[in-house]
Structure 1
Amino acid sequence: MGESNWYVVHTYSGYENKVKADLEKTIENRKLHDQILEVAVPLEEVVEIKNGVKKTSQKKMFPGYVLINMIMNDDTWYVVRNTRGVTGFVGPGSKPVPLSEEEMYHMGISHGEVQVDFEEGDNVAVISGVWEGTVGTIQSINQSKQSVTIHVDMFGRETPVELNFTEVRKL
């Protein structure tokens, strides 16, 4: 089948999240989960002080670029290349070049499995992001995406929410 690697895709400026959403929808529709494993728009926390008020916000680390963990073949290349907003893969000519281990390390991406101190069924508190302060029960853990799915109570209904490992803490 081939090994998955991280590739960098150039997008129109400001289209990074739209490209990510469109690609994830295409992966779902074409059942490409086993070939395109993750689509990421790397963000970094930035602390700004405006009018004497300290505010933390998320900024794109690489505006105009999206990272994709995928197995490169004709199908996946075609899907990514023909996503609206994508101008092309980063690499010489039309040949995409995967990121090296060193480049991935500097971006905070690692291939190894992350050890976590929680498992399915555990109650966790959300410690950052839009769901901060929420408590939920882990329904599933996705090691390749480094995420957990928890159920939160929204408008009186149990709603599944996918969160990064770094956003939750075991209770």
Structure 2
Amino acid sequence: MEELESSKAWYVLQTYSGYENKVKQNLESRAQSMKMEDNILQVLIPEEEKTTEKDGKAKTEMEKTFPGYVLVEMIMSDEAWYIVRNTPGVTGFVGSHGAGSKPSPLLPDEVDQILRSMGINPRKVEMDLEIGERIQITDGAFAGMEGNVTALETEKGKIKASIEMFGRETTAELDYNQISKID
């Protein structure tokens, strides 16, 4: 299973403009009906919240960041590739050179940036932590320091830890990927 986990990646699909929601719906139902939920994991339409004012009233609506494009997180296999590219409304993959070549996935930094702009935490890391547990900070401003977990914010992918700095207790908010457990 570990090998499969590392081969999952995000790809960009081109669609007919205005058909993004339909493509998302089609792709999700096809993945389910063809038993490909283990390969076709998530389908997202990059959107941002935009607030406009009309007649003195603020109106908030979701606006597509990249009209005509849909993101799909998948484990690339011949079957998954075939199902996705033959979904109604999909005109192709971005990063495919044609002639039957598989597309290139987005870089992790690109995916993180898009997901963050949508208000989604890109790095949900599964770590079995408990409040009071001792951790080592491996990255960021507090790298090399140790602390005790004071709060878990799993939806945000963050923890709060109490660390000693300059002889005083300080709380630091850290991403799961900035820490490791001390056994």
Where on the TM-score scale, by shorter chain, does this alignment land: which range? 0.5 to 0.7
TM-score by length of 1: 0.63
Looking at CA atoms only, which structure, 1 or 2, has the larger radius of gyration?
Answer: 2
Distance change >3 Å, CA 58–CA 114, structure 1 → 2:
farther
Does residue 40 (structure 1) correspond to residue 44 (structure 2)? The answer is yes
Distance change >3 Å, CA 114–CA 65, structure 1 → 2:
farther
Gaps of 5+ in 2: 117-121, 128-153, 158-183
Does residue 100 (structure 1) correspond to residue 107 (structure 2)? The answer is yes
Does residue 82 (structure 1) correspond to residue 94 (structure 2)? The answer is no
CA–CA distance in 1 between the matches of 2:26 and 2:90?
10
Distance change >3 Å, CA 114–CA 48, structure 1 → 2:
farther
Gaps of 5+ in 1: 116-142, 147-171
Question: Secondary structure, in 3 states, of the residue corresponding to 1:107?
Answer: helix
Choose the corresponding residue for 2:124, options 112, 125, 133. Answer: 112
Q: Deviations over 1:137-165 (max 9, x none)?
A: xxxxxx9xx9xxxxxxxxxxxxxxxxxxx
Give how far 1:92 is off: 4.1
CA–CA distance in 1 between the matches of 2:24 and 2:125?
23
Distance change >3 Å, CA 114–CA 20, structure 1 → 2:
farther
* Counterpart position of 2:170: none
Give how far 1:108 is off: 2.3
Does residue 29 (structure 1) correspond to residue 33 (structure 2)? The answer is yes
Give how far 1:114 is off: 7.6
* Counterpart position of 1:128: none
CA–CA distance in 2 between the matches of 1:114 and 1:49?
41
Count, aligned residues: 117
Does residue 11 (structure 1) correspond to residue 39 (structure 2)? The answer is no
CA-atom RMSD in angstroms: 2.1
TM-score by length of 2: 0.59
Does residue 49 (structure 1) correspond to residue 61 (structure 2)? The answer is no
Question: Secondary structure, in 3 states, of the residue corresponding to 2:60?
Answer: strand
